A and B are shown apart, each in its own frame.
Chain A
Amino acid sequence: MRLWPMPDAATLSLPTRRDEAWRYADMDALARIGAPALDQWESISVLAGETWHHSMVVGSDTPELHRFRVTLGEGARAELFVTNAGQDFARVEVEVALGRGAHFEFGGVTIGGGNAVREFVTKTVHAEPEATSNQTVRSVHWGAGTGNFLGEIKVARDAQKTDAAQDFKALLLEAGASANAVPQLEIFADDVKCAHGATVGQLDEDARYYMAARGLSPDTAQHLLVQAFLGDAFVELEDETKREELLNAALKALEGASL
């Protein structure tokens, strides 16, 4: 079975907004990255019963693109956790093909102001039965910052007992910020569970007032509320050091915000 198309001449040209997976991308930044560099994928093959862990902080001041192709054997597990705090366009893209009984866990945070676009694009292919996937993305933006989560889930005809979940929540701290959630489900099996949710909101004013009434400055209250909000994305990351690292990188981006 060949899941991925081989590169051909077409992939060496820049994508356009008409392409669903690039709909909210920063096209100027893509041009700066250049078409040849766009087609760089890191391939990971996880053998039956094994686990691949990866966590990363994306956050430089030049455009970044990270693309992963993960193939999970029977009962294999992939865990990917990312803080995306780019100050320029930063996109992390994952394509996962799950074998029987495999699991894909993804936790991502996009955070930042300015006018940069940070995005996660996932394509989760449940090719065989009994595989599970869980994706949690939290976005916090201000200024004219943008956070995107484009999550495609494909469930093949044979992939019965698939359990796929996708959860996106965005917190916009200022009126000019934006968030886009594009869940795309394509399900051909009939005995599956696919849950997805997306919400976009602001900081809870009642909570902020309550915290102020206990003596917390607006900055500290916001820090605590954002920290609590982001926590969901890394709940499944067992390595406490890495969890702190990702969370701290996200909160450091928040400190740079003059709100």
Chain B
Amino acid sequence: MLTIDNLHAEIGGKAILKGLNLEVPAGEVHAIMGPNGAGKSTLANVLGGKPGYDVTSGSVQFKGEDLFELDPHERAATGLFLGFQYPVEIPGVSNVQFLREAANSQRKYRGEDPLSGGEFLKLAKEKAGLLKLDMEMLKRQVNVGFSGGEKKRAEMVQMGILDPSFAVLDETDSGLDIDALRVVGDGINAIMRKPDKGVLLITHYQRLLDVVKPDRVSILAGGRIVQTGGPELALKLEAEGYNAVMADA
């Protein structure tokens, strides 16, 4: 579903990704763990198409398409969802307005009919309920005045509404207390744990992986995938730390 081949990328002339290879087939949750500065967020941003990141070589195939041929909004419409580590505040724009425009922009790109106001609200209510987010929050401005945890839950409500086929979730667990972590994890499972969907779960900690059980775990260090294994690799990292595990490899 997502195939990353020998990806090199840099920011402001500084090389961050240095030959990254990764394949995530449909039906899999692939966790990416790694020390600070390894390039985890850069990977998410390059996949999303954030301005300022230069891909110097390599390729990414997404659902059979060359991802880098698509603009960021086209990537989204093709089914790629990027869960932000730091969701952006948009003063003056309500969540409802933002998400309805987003959903309908994606549908238009795919040649589908737009959702009516009623259809959209029904969908939004259902997904907000799934993430235990008060529907009133969705009437407020996008992420403005939201706590860290509320922002992350709102991200997952967005994901539920947009119903992507692939999600890249960049430290979605950061800023969450234990209860919220469970809610968010359950949300990810409910929305994305399907045979025709895939997830790249970028995280520092095992605790999210206790809820969203990964099929594969990779360690990203120095801009490359240095080790890949099953769920036990995450447990080993948690117990022994990156240095010890990577030294063993």
**Interface on A for B, CB 8 Å cutoff?**
204-207, 209-218, 220-221, 224-225, 227-229, 231-232
Contacts and interface: CB of A to CB of B under 8 A. Distances in A.
Interface of B: 48-51, 71-73, 75-77, 81-82, 84, 87-93, 97-99, 101-103, 105-106, 109, 158, 162
Given A225-B93, A229-B92, A231-B92, A214 B51 contact: no
Contact of B109 (A205, A215, A225): A215
Nearest to B164: A215
B92 A215 contact: no
A227 B92 contact: yes
A227 B141 CA distance: 13
Nearest to B79: A215
Nearest to B102: A214
Interface centre among A209, A212, A215, A221 (most CB of B within 10 A): A215
A232 B93 CA distance: 12
B51 A209 contact: yes
Given A209-B50, A210-B87, A228 B92 contact: yes
B101 A220 contact: yes
A217 B101 CA distance: 10
Contacts of A211: 73, 90, 98, 102
Contacts of A228: 90-93
A213 B84 contact: yes
B246 to A, nearest CB: 31
A214 B98 contact: yes
Contacts of A207: 88-90
A213 B76 contact: yes
Contacts of B71: 212, 218
A137 B73 CA distance: 32
B97 A218 contact: no
A145 B88 CA distance: 29
A57 B49 CA distance: 39
A213 B82 contact: yes
Contacts of B98: 211, 214, 224
Given A205-B51, A210-B84, A211-B98, A216 B105 contact: yes
A8 B73 CA distance: 61
A215 B102 contact: yes
A27 to B, nearest CB: 36
Interface centre among B50, B71, B76, B93 (most CB of A within 10 A): B93
B97 A224 contact: yes
A213 B98 CA distance: 12
B82 A220 contact: no
A232 B89 CA distance: 17
User: Which 4 A-B pairs rank lowest in CB-CB distance, beginning with the nearest?
Assistant: A228-B92, A215-B76, A212-B72, A210-B88
Contacts of B105: 215-217, 220
B196 to A, nearest CB: 19
Given A220-B105, A224-B101, A228-B93, A212 B73 contact: yes
